[in-house]
Amino acid sequence: MIRILYFGQIAEAVGKSEELVDAKVFDAGVRAYFETKYPVLVSLSYRIAIDREIREELLAGEQPNEISLLPPFAGG
């Protein structure tokens, strides 16, 4: 399981500050997963950090510990 952290306006938009998800849900892409699960994110500006590195895609076979969604004013 991967720990997902939501910050600032992103947390407000999705209604939670964290959750756990299976890595398999990201097969179609990290941003695509979040924007499909939480359509409100499509209209928001945010960055994605995978294990504290700003990037949007998982490497083949990668099992990160944490993925964070950061609004621009939070250093994203």
pLDDT at site 8:
93
User: Whole-model pTM?
Assistant: 0.89
Length of the chain: 76
Share above pLDDT 70 across residues of the chain, in percent, rounded to a whole number? 95
pLDDT at site 74:
53
Task: Find where tokens 């398999």 sit.
Answer: 24
Alpha carbon distance 72, 62 (integer Å): 26
Alpha carbon distance 38, 19 (integer Å): 13
Domain residue limits, the chain? 2-74
Range among 6-15, 21-30, 56-65 rated most confident: 6-15
CATH number, span 2-74: 3.10.20.30
- Bridge-based pairing of strands 66-70 and 2-6 is parallel
